[in-house]
Amino acid sequence: MHKQRRVHDAIVGSVITLGIALAYLVSPVWLLLPGVIGVLMIQSGFTGFCPVYYTLDKLGVGNQGSTPAPSA
């Protein structure tokens, strides 16, 4: 789960930074991108559903070694 959290944070941080850079360089309309990410993060706090974690789960990122080791 630790690897999955790091990947999640990298993706979200990159998208927010990209949205701000595009708003500065291209058009203020690009501020909608980090705005949508912010709304999704708020709803994730209430519902527990995060589209990025859902996608990472489906791709199998960070799931290696998540099963407990057999006891001897």
Amino acid 20: pLDDT: 97
Domain parsing of the chain, residue ranges: 2-59
Q: Which residue intervals of 1-72 are DSSP H helices? A: 2-25, 32-47, 51-59
In tens digits, the chain (72 residues) has pLDDT values of 588 889 989 999 999 999 999 999 999 999 999 999 999 999 999 999 999 889 888 988 877 655 544 454
Cα torsion angle, 26, 17, 43, 62, sign: positive
- Per-residue model confidence as pLDDT tens digits over 40-54: 999 999 999 999 889
Amino acid 2: pLDDT: 85
